[in-house]
Amino acid sequence: MASNLRVDSIVPATGANVSIGTATGGVIIPGVLTYEDVTNVDSVGVVTARTDINLGDSIIHIGDTNTKIRFPAADTITAETGGSEKLRIDSKGQLSSGGSTTAFDGTSSLNGIQMYYETDSGVASFGSYSSGGTTNLRLYTNSGGSAATEKIRITGSGEIGLSGANYGTSGQVLTSQGSGSAVQWATPSSGGFTLLNTTTITNNSTSISLSLSSYQHLYGTVTGLVGASALGDCYLRFNSDSGTNYPWHRTYQQGNEGINSTGDRDATSFYFNGVGFAGWPNSQNVHRFTLFDVNSGARKLFEMFSVGDDPSYSGHPLFIMTHGQYKSTSAITSLQLSGSTAFTGGVVKLYGIK
């Protein structure tokens, strides 16, 4: 006959424990065992759950309560040591280290793995480290389903290797081979132009510092020179030199050739316009000049070609070719553009030539 046994409590006769079972087995509860108003369950052995374990925020290490696995938000898992978060997996599948701003992104949006550091002022670092040896960083990619091969290497001393230990030679640069081809080490060709300086002219004396130690020649342009009134004498000088001796001038105007010689061919100043011409009353003027062998210990050859409208000849074009020699053996460190009339516009561009 089935019957029920109901008691308010079971108290052991001796000791503090109550045991239910037999010598060969334990307690089997076929239904749901519910603990009400129980804050801790302590087991000295293994606890086995055949299906799920449902819990709140954390799994905490016994005796080390600031080390835990947490579930701080929906679809988010974190690991903490020393009381602070060290690892996070969020709802997007991003694996974050050291908080929520450094991430390894394993999502499928880019069909690969991303690593980034989200910050407004910090530094993102990626590399290898050894406390006693030397390390290097190697990047591998593959094509067409073939095995991945090394494409770029950075050594412990900062060398950059292509496809392994191909570090190039001194003076070579990385050169693109176009779409579909890998970059290569290549020796740059000589004679290339490098833009060194662009200056807008706003007064009657403009000085530009130059660093020409790695260049052979200096090439410059002056365009759109404008004065507060019709420009009178205007000239170039180097290294803050001054003087009244000017180079040889040959001028051409309306097909008529004229020669105007002023001083010797050694000069410290070079005219933009011929002596006796008002010259360049508006922005319609262009000047090109070259100073050769800027680092030599000898005097430097100078050439300049200028063209513009000249009011002395009813606005007809005036062409000036200037040939001379800079009267100094010093290396070139600066250029000055000056005029007897204040400049109100114009642009100077300077180029180094290898």
Q: Is residue 43 part of a domain?
A: no
**pLDDT at 297 > cutoff 50:** yes
Residue scoring higher pLDDT (328 or 274): 328
For position 345, what pLDDT does the model report?
Answer: 82
Question: What gap in Å lies between CA 339 and CA 25, rounded to an integer?
Answer: 111
313 phi/psi in degrees, rounded to 5: -125, 45
Q: What band does 269 get if pLDDT is binned at 50, 70 and 90?
A: low
For position 116, what pLDDT does the model report?
Answer: 65
Residues 221, 97 share a domain: no
For position 88, what pLDDT does the model report?
Answer: 86
Question: What gap in Å lies between CA 204 and CA 336, rounded to an integer?
Answer: 10
Q: What does the angle CA 33 – CA 35 – CA 36 come to, to the nearest 5 degrees?
A: 140
**pLDDT at 295 > cutoff 50:** yes
For position 68, what pLDDT does the model report?
Answer: 93
Residues 308, 214 share a domain: yes
Structural domain that includes position 243: 193-353
Q: Is residue 307 part of a domain?
A: yes
Question: What gap in Å lies between CA 212 and CA 210, rounded to an integer?
Answer: 6
Q: Is residue 65 part of a domain?
A: yes
Answer with the one of 158, 186, 214 that is the final residue of a domain.
Answer: 186
Q: Is residue 166 part of a domain?
A: yes
Answer with the one of 117, 145, 165 that is the final residue of a domain.
Answer: 117
Residues 296, 214 share a domain: yes
User: Tell me, what amino acid is at 203?
Assistant: N
314 φψ region: left (φ > 0), alpha (ψ -120 to 50), beta (else): left
Q: pTM here?
A: 0.46
Residues 250, 168 share a domain: no
9-38 tens-digit pLDDT: 766 666 666 666 555 555 656 566 666 666
Residues 173, 205 share a domain: no
Residues 228, 310 share a domain: yes
**Choice among 102-106, 141-145, 263-267, 281-285 with the minimum mean pLDDT:** 263-267
159: which residues sit within 8 A by CB, 6+ positions away? 153, 167
Judging by beta carbons within 10 Å of its beta carbon (0-12, 13-18, 19+), is residue 255 exposed, middle or buried? exposed
Q: What band does 290 get if pLDDT is binned at 50, 70 and 90?
A: very high
93: which residues sit within 8 A by CB, 6+ positions away? 105, 106, 107
For 226, other C-beta atoms within 10 Å of its C-beta total 18
For position 255, what pLDDT does the model report?
Answer: 44
60-117 tens-digit pLDDT: 888 899 999 999 889 989 999 999 888 888 887 777 776 555 555 555 454 556 666 6
**Choice among 13-17, 122-126, 223-227, 279-283 with the minimum mean pLDDT:** 279-283
Q: What band does 348 get if pLDDT is binned at 50, 70 and 90?
A: very high
For position 51, what pLDDT does the model report?
Answer: 81
CATH number at residue 278: 2.60.120
Instruction: Give which of 303, 301, 313, 302 is closest to 252, Cα–Cα.
Output: 313
For position 245, what pLDDT does the model report?
Answer: 44
For position 322, what pLDDT does the model report?
Answer: 76
Residues 349, 303 share a domain: yes
Residues 245, 338 share a domain: yes
Question: What gap in Å lies between CA 347 and CA 288, rounded to an integer?
Answer: 12
Q: Is residue 125 part of a domain?
A: no
**pLDDT at 264 > cutoff 70:** no
Q: Which residue in this structure is represented by tokens 């200037």?
A: 322
Residues 165, 197 share a domain: no
For position 310, what pLDDT does the model report?
Answer: 59
Question: What gap in Å lies between CA 107 and CA 113, rounded to an integer?
Answer: 7
For position 321, what pLDDT does the model report?
Answer: 75
Residues 320, 251 share a domain: yes
For position 86, what pLDDT does the model report?
Answer: 86
For position 121, what pLDDT does the model report?
Answer: 72
Core vs surface per residue 322-336: b (16+ CB within 10 A) or e: bebbbbbeeebeebb
10 phi/psi in degrees, rounded to 5: -120, 120
For position 311, what pLDDT does the model report?
Answer: 55
Rounded average pLDDT over 278-306: 80
User: What would the two tokens of residue 313 be?
Assistant: 């000849």
Q: Is residue 250 part of a domain?
A: yes
311 phi/psi in degrees, rounded to 5: -65, -20
337 φψ region: left (φ > 0), alpha (ψ -120 to 50), beta (else): beta
Q: What does the angle CA 36 – CA 38 – CA 41 come to, to the nearest 5 degrees?
A: 125
**pLDDT at 130 > cutoff 70:** yes
User: What would the two tokens of residue 262 be?
Assistant: 């002023």
Q: Which residue in this structure is represented by tokens 């004396």?
A: 205
Residues 142, 81 share a domain: no
Q: What band does 257 get if pLDDT is binned at 50, 70 and 90?
A: very low
Instruction: Give which of 247, 326, 244, 318 is closest to 286, Cα–Cα.
Output: 318
**pLDDT at 287 > cutoff 90:** no
Q: What's the total number of domains in the chain?
A: 3
Q: What does the angle CA 45 – CA 49 – CA 51 come to, to the nearest 5 degrees?
A: 170
User: Tell me, what amino acid is at 199?
Assistant: T
For 209, other C-beta atoms within 10 Å of its C-beta total 8
Question: What gap in Å lies between CA 249 and CA 251, rounded to an integer?
Answer: 6
High-pLDDT (> 90) share of the chain, %: 14
Residues 200, 349 share a domain: yes
Of 175-184, 274-283, 334-343, which has the strongest mean pLDDT? 175-184
